Amino acid sequence: MLPPPSATVAALTSTFASTYSQHGASLVRAYVATYWPRLVCIAGMQLTAAACDLYGPGYVLHQVVTSVQTTTSTGFDGSSTLWLVLSLFGLQITSAFVKAHLRYHIELTGIQFSASVRTLLFESVLHPNDASCQQTKSNAADVANLFAVDLLQLMKVTSSLTMMWITPVQITVVVVLLHQLVGWAIFVGVGVIVLILVTTSCLAASFRGYQRNLLQRKDARMQIVHDLFGSIAMVKLNAWEEQFLAKVTTLRHLELVAVWKYLRTFWLLATCMLTTPVVVTVSIFAAYTLWLQKLLTVATVFATLALFRSLQDALIQLPAGLTGLIQCMVSISRIQREIRLHATTVIHDDYSSPDDDDTVRDNGDNAVTIAQGTFAWDQGDDVEPVLTDVNV
pLDDT per position as a tens digit, 29-71? 888 888 888 889 998 998 998 888 888 888 888 777 777 776 6
Looking at 4-8, 215-219, 382-386, which range is the least confident one?
4-8
Closest CA to 113 of 15, 3, 37, 42: 15
Please indicate, yes or no, whether residues 10 and 141 belong to a single structural domain of this protein.
yes
Please indicate, yes or no, whether residues 118 and 259 belong to a single structural domain of this protein.
no
Which residues, including other chains, have CB under 8 Å from residue 352's CB and lie 6 or more apart?
360
Please indicate, yes or no, whether residues 164 and 233 belong to a single structural domain of this protein.
no
Residue at 74 is within a domain: yes
The confidence score (pLDDT) of residue 362 equals 54
Q: Does the pLDDT at position 179 exceed 80?
A: yes
Q: Does the pLDDT at position 381 exceed 70?
A: no
Per cent of the chain over pLDDT 90 is 2
The confidence score (pLDDT) of residue 97 equals 92
Compute how many other C-beta atoms are within 10 angstroms of the C-beta atom of residue 369.
17
The confidence score (pLDDT) of residue 93 equals 92
Range of the domain at 313: 1-183+308-345
Please indicate, yes or no, whether residues 14 and 93 belong to a single structural domain of this protein.
yes
Residue at 302 is within a domain: no
Looking at 48-52, 167-171, 368-372, which range is the least confident one?
368-372
The confidence score (pLDDT) of residue 71 equals 62
Average pLDDT, stretch 229-256? 85
Residues 262/207, Cβ–Cβ less than 8 Å: yes
Please indicate, yes or no, whether residues 242 and 282 belong to a single structural domain of this protein.
yes
Give the CA-trace dihedral at 249, 254, 256, 259, to 10 degrees. -150
Residue at 226 is within a domain: yes
**Number of domains making up the chain:** 3
Give the CA-trace dihedral at 161, 163, 168, 173, to 10 degrees. 140
Tell me the torsion sign for CA atoms 247, 249, 253, 255.
positive
226 phi, psi to nearest 5 deg: -65, -45
Please indicate, yes or no, whether residues 16 and 87 belong to a single structural domain of this protein.
yes
Residue at 140 is within a domain: yes
Please indicate, yes or no, whether residues 244 and 379 belong to a single structural domain of this protein.
no
Please indicate, yes or no, whether residues 20 and 164 belong to a single structural domain of this protein.
yes
Please indicate, yes or no, whether residues 334 and 373 belong to a single structural domain of this protein.
no
The pLDDT-based confidence of 366 (bands split at 50, 70, 90) is: low
The pLDDT-based confidence of 352 (bands split at 50, 70, 90) is: low
Residue at 303 is within a domain: no
Residue at 188 is within a domain: no
Residues 189/280, Cβ–Cβ less than 8 Å: yes
- Distance from C-alpha of 136 to C-alpha of 338, rounded to nearest angstrom: 10
Residue at 297 is within a domain: no
Residue at 298 is within a domain: no
- Could you tell me the pTM of the whole model? 0.61
The pLDDT-based confidence of 138 (bands split at 50, 70, 90) is: very low
The pLDDT-based confidence of 135 (bands split at 50, 70, 90) is: very low
Core vs surface per residue 158-180: b (16+ CB within 10 A) or e = bbbbbbeebbeebbebbbebbee
Q: Does the pLDDT at position 140 exceed 60?
A: no
* Chain CA centroid to CA 111, Å: 14
Per cent of the chain over pLDDT 70 is 82
Q: Does the pLDDT at position 346 exceed 70?
A: no
Q: Does the pLDDT at position 348 exceed 80?
A: no
- DSSP-derived secondary structure for 68-97: HHTHHHH---HHHHHHHHHHHHHHHHHHHH
- Mean pLDDT estimate for the chain: 78
Please indicate, yes or no, whether residues 225 and 144 belong to a single structural domain of this protein.
no
72 phi, psi to nearest 5 deg: -70, -30
Higher pLDDT, residue 380 or 234: 234
Please indicate, yes or no, whether residues 217 and 79 belong to a single structural domain of this protein.
no
Maximum C-alpha span of the chain: 111
- Distance from C-alpha of 258 to C-alpha of 171, rounded to nearest angstrom: 38
Please indicate, yes or no, whether residues 226 and 84 belong to a single structural domain of this protein.
no
